[in-house]
Amino acid sequence: MDLDKLKELANAVGKERLILDLMTSNINLYEGKYFVVTDRWQKFSDVCLDEKVLDFLARYADEFLVHRVDVEGKKLGIDNEVVALLGNHSSIPVTYPGGVSTMADLETIKSARMGSVDVIVGSALDIFGGSLPYKDDVAWHVQQDALAV
């Protein structure tokens, strides 16, 4: 990550227009730690995703998109440790794409985020060849919207 360029961008367009896409991985190399990866997920940076880093980066963006690249698109379920970390960080919105394979995964994310479900569901949906019924996903989200009112 190039902090100088991030600062320059935030100053030029305003942090309220920025969403930081933090692609993370641990690939069993770093037990319990998740590092931001770059270059098509091939290079580990020295940035370890934790509460301190999220708080620091929140100065330069209004939202995070946090990928867990080791599970994304594989329909193997979410990474509960990353979801818990993101759930502890509630100062700005966080969207978690990657790994959702069941309705239970949505409930886990909802619980971790204290009712706020910011998630992208893709290849797990039956319309893309997965086993999660699209109609069930939509119905669940409609129900969440109704509960929020």
The whole-number average pLDDT for the span 114-123 is 74
Domain at 3-148, CATH from 1.10.3720.10, 3.40.1160.10, 3.30.70.20, 3.20.20.70? 3.20.20.70
Q: How far apart are CA 147 and CA 11, in angstroms?
A: 38
Q: Where are the chain's structural domains?
A: 3-148
Q: What pLDDT was estimated at residue 4?
A: 95
Residues 21-57: pLDDT tens digits?
888 887 656 667 888 888 877 788 888 888 888 889 9
Q: What pLDDT was estimated at residue 119?
A: 82
Higher pLDDT, 75 or 81: 81
Residues 62-76: pLDDT tens digits?
998 888 877 777 777
DSSP 132: B
Average confidence score pLDDT of the chain: 84
CB contact at 8 A, 96 and 120: yes
